[in-house]
Amino acid sequence: MGYVSGLKCRECGREYPVDPIYVCEFCFGPLEVVYDYKRIKRVLTRKNIEKREKNLWRYKELLPINGEPQVGLQSGFTPLVKADNLARELGVRELYIKDDTVVHPTLSFKDRVVAVALTKAKEFGFDTVACASTGNLAHSVSAHGAKAGFKRFVFIPATLEQSKIVASLVYEPNLVAVDGNYDEVNRLCSEIANKYKWAFVNINIRPFYAEGSKTQGFEIIEQLGWEAPDNVVVPCASGSLLTKVWKAFKEFKEIGILKELGTKVFAAQATGCSPIAAAIKQGTDVIRPVKPNTVAKSLAIGNPADGFYASQVVKATNGYGEDVSDEEIIDGIKLLARTEGIFSETAGGVTIATTKKLIEQGRIGRNETTVVCITGNGLKTQEALTGHTAEVHYIKPNLGAFEETLNKIQSAR
């Protein structure tokens, strides 16, 4: 027996039963999962959580399932790394990296949302799951869906690079490459989701799927010793992750697990696709769609479904939205790797570079505690670093050649 009381429209507040639906029939607003916090408060305590397995389901009462978790039993509870070297470099006192480069099984935070979506899909009785993706989501639906025994349909634009296709194909989903531009692929997937009785994770299952992102927020609080940070910097694609990290913080406050909450939430985007950051900077409530052009492909959502809600969270918490160039993104990836030994995908470069900018602007205080969300592994987007890394020292197989090179390395320091 779960703790969900129903679905509710974020715009008009109309209530709906728990069904695989995602949009209000009246105002077309998105639907959000609503919980019975009074009941949750009685059962979910710090002590109970601490006794549980170290995976994302340790907060299961605050996730939208009825029965026991069925998918992603090894997902989540990733390290919160105290990043002293990076903090020194950026000139701040206390900095943490929420390291979702190592989520099981496909090395991005999408394993969290898909674990929740597929558990819910089982509860609804679906035998087929689907998604449209150019990367991380495709990998996660393919892998989690294989383990859970679903038929899987993964839609990609036909122009997608081979390296990204292999990381999905190995799990043997039905991979459908659509020959059309980005808008055409989007529209087709929406039509398919509305016609076929499948669990399309980020369309008809979206209200449940998105809730999985809260686990990153819950973990941050728990791993900080049940305290909220002064600042959290979250990368934005659809904007959903940012709103859910904040929802997680608020829920912990609501049920009494968190005593104080005054966190500022900051949105990080690439300049080549920054509709949310632009709206925040301009102080407008309308998110203007853009055509993405950035090396940070996993954040390249030009028409973000949750952009408005993300901008409202930023506004309400006195945070800010900033964007960074492709060059700054690459530098961000290298900075994190060089200082903390963490190899992030391009989205992580966005978050690190944005954090640096926010510190320089004085929007993040040098004596405050800041958590930076890193959402995917760099091994997935290695091509972004081509020509930007340090160089290999090639030598002949003899000691003289090595020592000659060693001298060069030492004199270069």
Provide the binding-site residues for other proteins, judged by CB under 8 A. 11, 22-23, 26-29, 110, 131-134, 136-137, 155, 157, 182, 185-187, 189-190, 193, 200, 202-203, 206, 237-238, 282, 284-289, 301-308
Tell me whether residue 169 or residue 395 sits nearer to other proteins (CB atom).
169
Q: How far is the CB of 31 from other proteins (least distance, A)?
A: 12
* Other beta carbons within 10 Å of 6: 15
Q: How far is the CB of 135 from other proteins (least distance, A)?
A: 8
Tell me whether residue 15 or residue 191 sits nearer to other proteins (CB atom).
191
- SS3 assignment, position 371: strand
Tell me whether residue 22 or residue 57 sits nearer to other proteins (CB atom).
22
Q: How far is the CB of 310 from other proteins (least distance, A)?
A: 11
Q: How far is the CB of 272 from other proteins (least distance, A)?
A: 15
| CA-based nearest residue to 262, from 176, 179, 369, 102 | 369
Please answer whether residues 211 and 248 qualify as being in contact, where contact means their C-beta atoms are separated by less than 8 angstroms. no
| CA-based nearest residue to 289, from 186, 190, 160 | 186
Q: Locate 60 and state its tokens.
A: 């299961």
Q: 277-282: long-range contacts (C-beta < 8 A, 24 or more apart)?
A: 277/236, 277/321, 277/322, 277/323, 278/321, 278/323, 279/307, 279/308, 279/311, 279/321, 280/311, 280/314, 280/315, 280/320, 280/321, 281/321
Residue-level length of the chain: 413
Tell me whether residue 209 or residue 218 sits nearer to other proteins (CB atom).
209
Q: How far is the CB of 192 from other proteins (least distance, A)?
A: 10
Q: How far is the CB of 189 from other proteins (least distance, A)?
A: 5
Q: What are residue 320's phi and psi, to 5 degrees?
A: -160, 165
Q: Distance between alpha carbon 10 and the CA centroid of its chain, in Å?
A: 21
Tell me whether residue 25 or residue 36 sits nearer to other proteins (CB atom).
25
Whole-angstrom CA distances from 347 to 133, 194, 234, 247, 266 are: 15, 30, 10, 22, 14
The answer for residues whose C-beta is within 8 angstroms of residue 260's C-beta and 6 or more apart is: 227, 228
- Residue 353 half-sphere exposure, CB side, CA atoms within 13 Å? 24
The amino acid at 99 = D
Reduced DSSP (H G I as helix, E B as strand, rest coil) percent helix, strand, coil of the chain, to 5:
45, 15, 40
Tell me whether residue 44 or residue 273 sits nearer to other proteins (CB atom).
273
Tell me whether residue 111 or residue 222 sits nearer to other proteins (CB atom).
111
Q: How far is the CB of 241 from other proteins (least distance, A)?
A: 11
The rounded distance, in Å, linking the Cα atoms of 290 and 191 is: 22
Q: How far is the CB of 3 from other proteins (least distance, A)?
A: 27
Tell me whether residue 91 or residue 180 sits nearer to other proteins (CB atom).
180
Tell me whether residue 282 or residue 293 sits nearer to other proteins (CB atom).
282
Q: How far is the CB of 353 from other proteins (least distance, A)?
A: 22
Please answer whether residues 131 and 202 qualify as being in contact, where contact means their C-beta atoms are separated by less than 8 angstroms. yes
Q: How far is the CB of 395 from other proteins (least distance, A)?
A: 45
| CA-based nearest residue to 151, from 189, 118, 191 | 118
Tell me whether residue 137 or residue 277 sits nearer to other proteins (CB atom).
137
